Structure 1
């Protein structure tokens, strides 16, 4: 897929685009961070809204997506700094361009349509392809390696914890039984194993494909997504300028819960145990939560882009050192 041949916008529809721009409030001369550049949809809207002299650092672990985004952002080439890095390593990128802080940051934790729809990437249980699921070359092991080498307990833990599938143990047993006969190497091969692990009644009444949660769990494990998010949430607040806003879009409860708790803790300030009557840690609030409940896509957006149905946006603002609004 050559960047000059394809229109990135046709490959992926940016989720909650208008909401992100509205809440970030991009301004002239601002410095912005897009930790999950993808096809560049959020970045393009931020730069066009911000106007004169605004700059942006964009990261993506997928080299193909990065190349396509570079083409899409060509009109701002002198003000865009792109890096082939996972979002947890954003500080390396900021340090390289000489930025101590940013005026706003966005993180879209969804998998791009390009990754889902290109069978060779191995993310889809609808299109047959090699069982891969690696978003970038930094991933240590593919989904094929995990499925064929992990013990029952480890495999079940991934499917239960990351995929949130109550049948995790049954699915893991089915995978081990199948791999004893032949190595599991294809996406549809695994999808069928998982489908048959479901009781017939559950198969017929399931709202989504039975393999949905298993594939999600494996993808998260392969790309170490929970560790990535945890590291990002621990470090991003320190690189936000007072008044800067942080917008994060999540797509499943595991991610949304982590963002919710991180925002809550940053807004609370005090880290003392709940049973302690008086604060002794001296912690002060660093953030102000702007979205008490996560924002969802509109009915019109969900109709136009079914993948937006599970999207949740949370936004928080960095406070000045005295704890007041900047």
Structure 2
């Protein structure tokens, strides 16, 4: 059962925030439509559909197994749930295909899902032996092994530094290229062991995370184009909100959160020069922050659901249509 395999992070808070946009739709005589841009196993979607009996929810995921599991979980909601297989880049097309031009809310729960972490053959975890795969959609062509075995050394170093914020990116890239000439990279345990050998012990052992964490994050982001897709999808979703609609994003690492902050800030701050005495309407903000900065999970939720420890939740509401 999907319910037993995954606990949604900050579920009640997400449902309450999305409820602001749903209420605005009702006031305007619209059918409330919510997009769950990272459906996973359907935990957040189930919460929204149960709390709001008039909502239609489009759930999007690139993982066909997630669509199947969530579809079974959400079957009791009938036609109010629509599952869509694809990346977040297709959100405008998916809405149009089902006859919707505006949405009341959108939720992004970013990063890798419990479904993917729990299946050894997917290769996302560095704690268990597995093929170096890391594809969220098994139908995609590029794997983590392909990156390690075919990318130039300089490109591997760039990916590790940029997407993993790894201090030892150049050193790791040199070893990756040297070792692959003798034996191509195939398994996660071999890579993790190499990283433990190559990365120095920190001076403060209490601050040590697993030395493979940053490299595995970087490879996963590269294989799945996670940041590039978020850069494209988030502005498209904000454009699709009707006035009063809400966008909620849960990020779990700094690179994701930086994109969210930048996109939200572009809509919540004035675009006029500071010396302008009167700000024309088209330069005024068209989004308003609902959360003050990034909200975090409390100690009780972190204890019951460790994945919540790193969450950063941000939410905005659309106050007007922006100038084209």
| TM-score normalised to structure 1 length | 0.91
| Distance (Å, rounded) in 2 between the aligned partners of 1:192 and 1:317 | 46
1:288, CA displacement in angstroms? 0.6
SS at 2:249 equivalent = strand
SS at 1:241 equivalent = strand
- Match for 2:3 among 9, 23, 34? 9
Partner residue in 2 for 1:4: none
Are 2:286 and 2:322, in contact at CA under 8 Å, matched by a contact in 1? no
1:80 matched to 2:81 = yes
| Distance (Å, rounded) in 2 between the aligned partners of 1:12 and 1:179 | 36
1:177, CA displacement in angstroms? 2.1
Kindly provide the CA deviation profile for residues 38-88 of structure 1, in whole angstroms up to 9, marking residues without a partner as x.
Answer: 00011110011112x321111000000110000110111211111101112
Kindly provide the CA deviation profile for residues 14-57 of structure 1, in whole angstroms up to 9, marking residues without a partner as x.
Answer: 11111101111145741111011000011110011112x32111
SS at 1:155 equivalent = helix
| Distance (Å, rounded) in 1 between the aligned partners of 2:32 and 2:252 | 28
| Distance (Å, rounded) in 1 between the aligned partners of 2:36 and 2:104 | 11
- Match for 1:44 among 43, 46, 59? 46
| Distance (Å, rounded) in 2 between the aligned partners of 1:187 and 1:322 | 46
Partner residue in 1 for 2:33: 31
Partner residue in 2 for 1:302: 302
Are 2:160 and 2:218, in contact at CA under 8 Å, matched by a contact in 1? yes
Are 1:117 and 1:127, in contact at CA under 8 Å, matched by a contact in 2? no
Are 2:148 and 2:156, in contact at CA under 8 Å, matched by a contact in 1? yes
Structure number with higher relative contact order (C-alpha < 8 Å, ≥ 6 residues apart): 2
Matches for 1:1-326 after TM superposition, within 5 Å: 7-25=1-19, 26-27=22-23, 29-51=31-53, 53-137=54-138, 139-201=140-202, 207-270=208-271, 277-278=275-276, 282-321=282-321
My pick for the range that moved more, 208-217 or 281-290, is 281-290
Are 2:58 and 2:83, in contact at CA under 8 Å, matched by a contact in 1? yes
SS at 2:283 equivalent = coil
* Runs of 4 or more above 2 Å deviation: 26-29, 137-140, 200-207, 276-284, 320-323
| Distance (Å, rounded) in 2 between the aligned partners of 1:207 and 1:307 | 18
CA RMSD after TM alignment: 2.1
Kindly provide the CA deviation profile for residues 193-248 of structure 1, in whole angstroms up to 9, marking residues without a partner as x.
Answer: 11111124569555311000000000000000111000012211110011011000
Are 1:87 and 1:228, in contact at CA under 8 Å, matched by a contact in 2? yes
Are 1:242 and 1:318, in contact at CA under 8 Å, matched by a contact in 2? yes
| TM-score normalised to structure 2 length | 0.91
Q: What are structure 1's unaligned runs of at least 5 residues?
A: 1-6
SS at 1:309 equivalent = helix
| Distance (Å, rounded) in 2 between the aligned partners of 1:226 and 1:178 | 29
Q: What are structure 2's unaligned runs of at least 5 residues?
A: none
Q: How many positions carry a matched residue from both structures? A: 313
